[in-house]
Amino acid sequence: MLTIKAINKPKSISSAQVLRDIQQAFNPSKLFAPWLHSERTRISREREHQRHRRKHKRIDVKVGHGGTLDPMATGVLIVGVGKGTKHLQTFLGCTKTYEATILFGAATDTYDVFGKVLSTAPYAHVTRKAVEEALKTFRGSINQKPPLFSALRMDGKRLYEYAREGKEIPRKIQERPVRTESLEIREWLPAGSHQYAWPKDEADDEQKYVAVNVLYLGEARGSTEGLLHDHDESPNINSSHGTKRRRDGDDVLTSTSSAAKRHELSYVPLVSRTPQQASQIDKKEIYLTGGNQERPRETEPKHAPPAARLSMTVTSGFYVRSLCHDLGQAVGSLGIMSELVRTRQGEFEVGQNVLEYDDLSKGEDVWAPKVTQMLDDWQGKVTAKLVNWSSDVDKSAEIQ
């Protein structure tokens, strides 16, 4: 069985949990009983030492996803079933469409509302016109710096692991080339007109110290070599033999530096500044500092700061959280991501050809016909591609 489908991931659960929920629904079903029987038969024919290694492992329907979504995000999660898991890599390079909400006036360690507040900034001057003007610099081909709380690897260790342990990373996080094919304000939410709010938890001095030394590393703080590949864009496969994850060395990528980088945060950390550097600081510069903060934390606003719902189509490797963080600074304030929906990935789009997550709990009579249709559609596309390939081969042979 080879199929690719998509499911509408709900909020507050991980992509891995969605896979487990799919398995829980598929394992006892009539639809996947033939596949499970075939797997058991295949395993029974294996050599004795191979069967011995598997004897304590349950046989599950093999599923995997083609690009994870953060727990706070909802929307399209591409899922491969059976041999379809081997084709998930083809979806990592396709474009994705998102709808995101940015809330101005605060910065967090995670770049979203689930992190701890590092700093706040004035936001009364932030208008729709100012944001629309700033968005122009984020369209097209740009260089983007991934957030510290991400699954990228540096020296075999995930960046979020460094952050959670309160450790500085070995090198500066390099920017990566990405492309924004479209980026627009879908809705402007004036101050006090919405329910979004800054997080209540504020980072302590030690956490702020780590943040300022990681997010604003100076040029003298080590090599800029060795940027990491985005594990968030790697397939994750759950099968009867456990969960396959890429090894430490599999997703490390060497990146070249650029002399003229857009949106480069080239600040020297406050704790590393010389008296001369400190005296030359532009008063409009925004810091995420610990200890001796040069910008005091804004008091809790009487009304929610302004926010904006953005719609964008982007290439693989793009971080919407980073866009919100950088956009906040571009308008002379700060910004965090408050909501995220992936409405489309490749050919799959919410409301058109995506299975609703709630259907899983409604029973096989509800989800099986929809999954069967998705299976047939995918098989039809695979067959069409094979026919076209065969035709091209025949034409090539005739020419020769």
Beta bridge partners of 117: 108, 202
Say how far apart CA 108 and CA 327 lie, in whole Å. Answer: 14
Asked if 292 and 270 count as a contact pair (C-beta separation under 8 A), the reply is yes
For residue 9, give the H/E element and its range: strand 2-9
| 3-class DSSP state of 339 | strand
- The pair of structure tokens assigned to 109 is 């360690």
Asked if 336 and 325 count as a contact pair (C-beta separation under 8 A), the reply is yes
Say how far apart CA 189 and CA 174 lie, in whole Å. Answer: 33
Taken as a whole, the chain contains a residue count of: 400
Q: Which amino acid is at 338?
A: S
Say how far apart CA 15 and CA 398 lie, in whole Å. Answer: 48
Based on the residue annotation, tell me whether 394 is a catalytic residue of this protein.
no
**DSSP string across 154-179:** ETTEEHHHHHHTT---SSPPPPEEEE
Say how far apart CA 179 and CA 315 lie, in whole Å. Answer: 5
**DSSP string across 286-325:** ----SSS-SSPPPPPPSSPPPEEEEEEEE-TT--HHHHHH
Say how far apart CA 65 and CA 77 lie, in whole Å. Answer: 7
- The pair of structure tokens assigned to 338 is 């408050």
**CA angle 311-351-348, nearest 5°?**
75
Catalytic residue among 70, 109, 112, 326: 70
| 3-class DSSP state of 114 | coil
- Catalogue the long-range contacts made by 389-398 (C-beta closer than 8 Å, 24 or more residues apart): none
Say how far apart CA 392 and CA 165 lie, in whole Å. Answer: 55
Q: Are strands 106-108 and 117-120 parallel, antiparallel or unpaired?
A: antiparallel
**DSSP string across 84-124:** GGGGGGGGTTS-EEEEEEEEESEEETTSBTTS-EEEE---T
Active site residues: 70
